[in-house]
Structure formats: C-alpha cells, structure tokens
Amino acid sequence: MSYLAFIVRRYWLWLTAFLWLLITASSLWPAELLPQVPGTDKTHHFIAYTALVFPVAFARPRQWLLVFLLLLAWGGVIELIQPYVNRWGEWLDLAANAAGACLGLLLAEVLRRLIK
C-alpha cells in the first residue's frame, strides 16, 4: 500500500473533519475580508468538495452514499446561511459541490482499485 493510501486510511476522519471545518469557515467568512485567489468561485467549490469527500470515500467505501448526502445537505445549509453573513448564496455553488463530490468518489474508487 502506498504511503498516501496509508495516511488517508489511518487519518480519514481527521482529514475529513479538518477539511469540513476549513470549508465551512471559508464559506461563511464575510465577503469584504476574503483574500483574492486565482480561479472562479465554482472552481473553488469543485476542488473543495472533491478533497472533502475523497478521504472518507477511500477509507470507508460502504458509507459513501451517506457521507455524500450529508455533505451536500451541509453545502445547501451553507448556501442558505451565506446571505446573513454578507455573502451570496448561489444554487450553482451547490451544483459545483455535487460535481466535486462525485469526482472525489470516483478518484477514491480508482485509487482503491489500483492498490488492489
């Protein structure tokens, strides 16, 4: 097993919790204080949710559907909260989250098959 696979399997819960907290905090941070980063908002959502879903999908493949649905629901809650913290809630952000989560699931499955 590769070193990356070992790390993800051993620390999947910590990785997921850290990414979840980071994404939540950055999604609810007031807009006037956001740093300028390259790329579009939808790209950031896509990458963030790919990274968020990957550890649990890789380490716990039987729970992928539950985690996928919970994280998408949380993404929807964030979009509903954002207007109250000087941000813009957009349903296309939720679509980017879903697409990124799908890629995270796919990458985890491909890596799991390559390792076997």
- Check if the beta carbon of residue 60 is closer than 8 Å to that of residue 13: no
Tens digit of each residue's pLDDT (9 = 90 or more) over 63-105 = 889 989 999 999 999 999 998 988 888 899 999 999 999 999 9
Tens digit of each residue's pLDDT (9 = 90 or more) over 22-42 = 999 999 987 675 556 666 789
- pLDDT of 108 higher than 90: yes
pLDDT at 38: 62
pLDDT at 37: 60
pLDDT band at residue 115 using 50, 70 and 90 as cut-offs: confident
pLDDT at 41: 84
Give whole-number Cα distances, 85 to 6, 44, 78, 116, in Å.
39, 19, 10, 46
Domain boundaries, the chain: 3-29+38-115
